[in-house]
Amino acid sequence: MACAVVAYQAEQNKSPLLWQCGAHTICSDFKQLYYNEKGEIFHLSYSTLLQLASGGNKKAIANSKWHAWLTEEEAAVVIGYVQEMGNHGFPLSHQWLKNHVDEICQAHLGSEFPEGGVGVNWTYHFVERSSEQLKVLCSCPLKSKCGKAVNPLTNEAWWSLLSKTLEKSCIKQQNTYGVDEMDFQPAGREQEYVIGSQKTGLQYQQ
């Protein structure tokens, strides 16, 4: 992040007549450089970059108003819980995350905590603040019968049946869509925005 801040500040010091890269571009460039060098995906928050470049510091950002309701230990527990629920196929929505945070804060703050709980945008800021661990994804629900069929025996039987069907019907592999997760045609599924781990791939929801 320090190198990204230096690069952004250098861009801002350029003459107005010259092209200046914005925070989004700087973050994208440094993420690509890191991936090329390490082979790993590293997330950089452009909002954090802007705050640091304008004279802020990481401690001040971490203790900003929208994050101050939770202690660092509580925030770490919440992040771990969100990741665990997502990995198990039960990702939290913003409303559910708010409900859990409200319960935690109410427990240790008592009457000092607002009756309405954290603000309506608090969870969005929390996810942005924790962007190295969390992100918002569009959920991809499984059919209930598919969700209940997750075991080695049914999995083996499914792939055997699929292989025979493709061979019998002369179906090319590139003409199958989502057969490993959601039946043959995944269109028409209900979706919602949920919170999960900072990882690539779909977020399935049972």
Q: Is 55 helix (H, G, I), strand (E, B) or coil?
A: coil
Task: Point out the residues of the chain with pLDDT beneath 50.
Answer: 59-66, 182-188
Share above pLDDT 70 across residues of the chain, in percent, rounded to a whole number = 71
Which amino acid is present at 121? N
H-helix or E-strand spanning residue 206:
none
The reported pLDDT for the residue numbered 79 is 92
Angle 78-81-85 (CA atoms, 0-180°, nearest 5)?
Answer: 145
pLDDT digits (tens, 9 = 90+) for 161-185: 778 878 887 877 777 766 655 444 4
Answer whether 63's CB lies under 8 Å from 121's CB.
Answer: no
Distance of CA 24 to the CA centre of its chain: 18
Based on C-alpha coordinates, what's the Rg of the chain? 22
Q: Is 101 helix (H, G, I), strand (E, B) or coil?
A: helix
pLDDT digits (tens, 9 = 90+) for 41-58: 767 776 777 777 776 555
Sorted by where each starts, the structural domains of the chain and their CATH numbers stand as: 1-56 (no CATH), 66-141+191-197 (1.10.10)
The reported pLDDT for the residue numbered 103 is 92
* Model confidence pTM above 0.75: no
Q: Is 110 exposed, middle or buried (0-12, 13-18, 19+ CB in 10 A)?
A: exposed
The reported pLDDT for the residue numbered 65 is 46
- Token representation of residue 129: 């603040």
